[in-house]
Structure 1
Amino acid sequence: MAPPPSTTTSLQVESVVFPPSVKAPGTATTLFLAGAGVRGMEIEGKFVKLTGIGLYLEDKAIPSLAVKWKGKTAAELMDSVHFYSDIINGPFEKLAEVAMIVPLVGMQHAETLSKMCVAIWKAEGTYTDADSATIAKYLEAFKDQKFSPGSSILYTTTPDGLVMVSFVKDGIIPETPIVVLENKKLGHALFESVIGKNGVSPEAKQSLASRLADLMN
């Protein structure tokens, strides 16, 4: 395996520090920090920061993406929907860490994400009974879960279509995920929600473009 990209450093988003690399629960792969940013929303006319999102990629993402994107500037990458699509659909492991800045009720998070996925699949005409079963299993994992500031939800996706969900509390990354879902569409939708065309964290997209441009060049 290639060594982790040498220019990778930790990133701080508000009170959250994302380390330069992380070993995904349930896999033997160590992933490097490709970018991070805040996610927030307008509440009564004020922008409220809710979570920090760190995006980690397998080392082979760099040569895979460089075939098409090497030589592009960060600004060019940021402006390209296809660049982010190539990350979302790329044949390498990915991990998104959703770290709490404010307290979060687990079921509220899971239901919001589930509704978005189902709406996309229904609009595409691809929603199936298997997808419905996946969503039910996903929601069950968040039942009665509460996340305090500093705790995290980890989403790991593999090229063969596994989605592994893990909870980090008290700073301890578990060795095994809390649930493993076999649904490639769900993995794509999770990352689409963060860095896709209408992704929830423009700051994370900018960070990703900047760091990957440097690594590829």
Structure 2
Amino acid sequence: TYAWSLWDILHNICTKGGSPLQLERYMSHDVNSFPYDAYRMTFTDNHDKNSWEGNMYSNFGDGLEAAIVLCATVNGMPLVYSGQEAGLNRSLAFFEKDLIDWSKLPMEEMYSQLFDLKHRNRALWNGRYGGEMIRIVTDQPKEVVAFSREQGNDRVITLINFSDYTLEVQLKEGFTAGTYTALFTGENIELMTNKAYALPAWGYAVYHQTSGK
């Protein structure tokens, strides 16, 4: 089933000043209301939204990449709509042929990195094969959404700053401390409680421990 409410919440946060605390409530509801085997389809664009309610840039603004990262790491199956890898910045015709310009692919690398991790790291697998979302308590709950997922020896930690200013965040509880690899830089980093980690405006970080290669 489509995760319509997640799209609405992300749109509200990114363009209307909504509180990221809404995402904590969404994650709690998702974990407690849907069967463990359920596959929610998460998305920042689809045929209905794109045709009638704008494109991914108009719907998420500066928070677009943050929203994509969240959709790719929460419980569920992330959807990539036609042209998103190519940075589609317009609405496609719903009933007529409408060609997409594939000459440039500004979003391809981000999607490739996220989906490669989803294939390799069991914590991001779907349904009962993956890890449940666990909220990470931080000292910046009004701006930062943080959660962990674990399955076997595989772990993923996602940190997202849903604000328009740079901040430092300290992780308090809800994760396994240790050495992780930063997905988008390849750097190794030590994650521990009460240590400050910087996040730029609308910034994000995905850290992982992946046993499979």
Q: Same fold (TM over 0.5)?
A: no
TM-score in terms of structure 1 length: 0.28
Which structure has greater helix proportion? 1
